[in-house]
């Protein structure tokens, strides 16, 4: 689509062809691909709570169908006019105009990424972006043209070849992924595993030759041909071509060979997020907890991944924590003191770093680092009683004496509140114990989000994971 040229960034050019007749594209062209969408969603087990992104989503029919299956869907396309249709169809979906080579979502934001004839042999760099936004263990479902010439419906794509020869050559380069082994090799080079080809039916059906010509005229490659031979001739020649395939009482039918790929991001990145493999499939509760982490932190915590085996159990622990927090009237700062004191007494680096950061925000980095190191000099008297009690409960609950409870009473806490504070610490100890025993590695992101003083105070437990190094792609040395 060279006519836009000028100062437009390359990724904005497809709108000229794909978006110029957006209503036609949405109603005459896109519904033709419905079998493809349904089959791929089935292969990927898209269902309730699946966080799905459709790359090069066009007018968003695939996004709408994913939403109908219960997915929380997002989509991106370079054409503002097609995205406007997608938004009209799925007002609740996160639909963006943008370049698929720079996906505007956080790492690990999706369980599933699809792209229906949107990622090509000419755009391999998009695969790095897709891998980044997929969680470990997440799935990519991709379709590309297969052996078109051998397809019974090959005739239906012939009008695309009425474009200039350089554009036809470019189309051929785009289609390279479907050749035996090519897509597999590329996906593997870009860090995907378990790459497999899956059956994806693909059939275009048209009421008559004129509808066929009109549907093709609203596509990107159709527009390339129109730029060469003019719209009138394109429509006329395309209708004439299709007339030869017309059947009495039946629609025009063009079955075209399409290749579907399903590939997975390795479930365990680098040294692993814990001793446990991440579940192959997430329950709706686990998906929701991944989404919460992504929204709050921009990544999914390793602990969340591990607890994904029983998110409901963790929710019960947090529900109990919520209840005793209320009874004891614990502020966020109070909880920061209790958790950092207990976690450091246990030698749990993960909760020490995570809550050391929260306490630093609620008070100061010095105060937080002090509590982690056993120095309570920056605390008020009441807070000192909390920190001391948390360390006793976490380190050796059998060594406590009646006198140890007295400072809590003097701090103003009643009997029920002392029980609640003790239960709060014990529940945190239970959570930490599971994380530590099963090797949940503090997230590498904590290295940059934790204040320096807090990082220095956490001299115990497992070190945060190293930041992942990008997987080398083609052309990188």
Ligand X SMILES: C[S@@+](CC[C@H](N)C(=O)[O-])C[C@H]1O[C@@H](n2cnc3c(N)ncnc32)[C@H](O)[C@@H]1O
> With binding defined as CB under 6 A, does residue 75 bind ligand X?
no
Q: For ligand X, what does the binding mask look like between residues 19 and 38, x meaning CB under 6 A? A: -----------x--x-----
Least spacing, CB of residue 39 vs ligand X, in Å: 13
Characterize 9-32 residue by residue with b for buried, 16 or more Cβ atoms within 10 angstroms of its Cβ, and e for exposed: eeebbbbbbbbbbbebbbebbbeb
237 sits near ligand X (criterion: CB under 6 A): no
Query: Of the two residues 14 and 146, which places its CB atom closer to ligand X in the complex?
Result: 14
What whole-number distance in Å separates Cα of residue 134 and Cα of residue 205? 34
Stretch touching ligand X by CB under 6 A, among 97-105, 225-233, 340-348, 427-435: 97-105
Residue among 337, 346, 336 nearest 387 (CA): 337
Least spacing, CB of residue 78 vs ligand X, in Å: 4
Token pair recorded at residue 105 = 């979502």
**Among residue numbers 398 through 427, which ones bind ligand X (CB under 6 A)?**
none
CB-based contact 139:44 (threshold 8 Å): yes
The distance of Cα 206 from the centroid of its chain, to the nearest Å, equals 36
Can you read off the two tokens belonging to residue 111?
């369980």
Q: Which of 26, 50, 58, 450 binds ligand X (CB under 6 A)?
A: 58
Q: Which stretch binds ligand X (CB under 6 A): 96-104, 147-155, 226-234, 318-326?
A: 96-104
In contact, 57 and 230? CB cutoff 8 Å: no
137 binds ligand X (CB under 6 A): no
Say whether residue 334 binds ligand X (CB under 6 A): no
Dmax (CA) for the chain in angstroms is 97
Q: Cβ-closest residue to ligand X?
A: 58
64 binds ligand X (CB under 6 A): no
Binding status of residue 191 toward ligand X by CB under 6 A: no
Question: Would you count residue 90 as binding ligand X (CB under 6 A)?
Answer: no
* Range in contact with ligand X (rule: CB under 6 A) among 52-60, 234-242, 308-316, 347-355: 52-60
Q: How near is the Cβ of 33 to ligand X at its closest, in Å?
A: 5
Which among 54-62, 371-379, 397-405, 433-441 is the span making contact with ligand X, rule CB under 6 A? 54-62
Q: Does 53 bind ligand X (CB under 6 A)?
A: no
Among 44, 52, 56, 187, binds ligand X (CB under 6 A): 56
**Is residue 119 at the binding interface for ligand X, with CB under 6 A as the rule?**
no
Q: Which of 1, 16, 18, 423 binds ligand X (CB under 6 A)?
A: 18
- Please report, as ranges, the residues that interact with ligand X according to CB under 6 A: 11, 14, 18, 30, 33, 56-58, 62, 76-79, 82, 99-101, 116-118
């Amino acid at each position: 689509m060279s006519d836009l040229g000028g100062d437009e960034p390359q990724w904005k050019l497809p709108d000229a062809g794909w978006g110029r007749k957006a209503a036609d594209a949405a109603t005459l062209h896109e519904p033709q691909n419905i079998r493809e969408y349904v089959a791929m969603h089935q292969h990927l087990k898209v269902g309730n709570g699946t966080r799905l992104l459709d790359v090069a989503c066009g007018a968003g029919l695939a996004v709408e169908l994913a939403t109908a299956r219960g997915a929380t869907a997002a989509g991106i396309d370079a054409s503002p006019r097609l995205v406007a249709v997608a938004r009209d169809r799925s007002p609740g979906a996160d639909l963006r105009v943008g370049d698929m080579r720079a996906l505007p979502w956080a790492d690990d934001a999706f369980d599933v990424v699809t792209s229906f004839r949107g990622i090509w042999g000419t755009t391999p760099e998009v695969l790095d972006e897709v891998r980044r936004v997929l969680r470990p263990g997440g799935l990519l479902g991709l379709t590309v043209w297969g052996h078109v010439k051998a397809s019974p419906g090959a005739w239906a794509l012939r009008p695309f070849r009425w474009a200039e020869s350089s554009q036809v050559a470019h189309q051929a380069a785009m289609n390279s992924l479907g050749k035996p082994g090519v897509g597999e090799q590329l996906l593997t080079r870009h860090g995907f595993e378990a790459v497999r080809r899956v059956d994806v039916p693909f059939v275009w059906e048209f009421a008559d030759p004129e509808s066929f010509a009109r549907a093709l005229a609203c596509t990107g490659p159709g527009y390339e041909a129109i730029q060469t031979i003019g719209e009138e001739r394109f429509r006329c020649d395309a209708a004439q071509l299709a007339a030869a395939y017309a059947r009495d009482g039946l629609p025009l039918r063009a079955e075209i060979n399409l290749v579907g790929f399903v590939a997975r991001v390795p479930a365990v990145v680098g040294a692993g997020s814990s001793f446990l493999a991440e579940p192959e499939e997430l329950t709706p509760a686990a998906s929701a907890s991944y989404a919460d982490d992504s929204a709050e932190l921009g990544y999914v915590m390793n602990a969340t991944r591990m607890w994904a085996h029983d998110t409901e159990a963790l929710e019960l622990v947090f529900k109990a924590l919520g209840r005793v927090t209320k009874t004891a009237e614990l502020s966020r700062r109070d909880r920061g003191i209790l958790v950092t004191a207990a976690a450091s007494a246990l030698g749990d680096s993960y909760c020490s770093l995570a809550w050391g950061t929260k306490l630093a925000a609620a008070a100061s980095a010095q105060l937080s680092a002090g509590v982690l190191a056993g120095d309570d000099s920056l605390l008020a008297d009441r807070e000192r009683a909390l920190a001391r009690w948390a360390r006793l409960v976490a380190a050796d609950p059998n060594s406590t004496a009646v006198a140890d409870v007295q400072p809590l009473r003097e701090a103003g806490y009643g009997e029920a509140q002392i029980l609640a504070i003790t239960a709060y610490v014990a529940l945190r100890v239970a959570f930490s114990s599971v994380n530590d025993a099963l090797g949940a590695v503090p997230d590498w992101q904590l290295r940059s989000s934790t204040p320096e003083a807090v990082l220095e105070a956490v001299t115990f437990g497992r070190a945060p994971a190293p930041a992942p190094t990008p997987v080398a792609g083609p052309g990188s040395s």
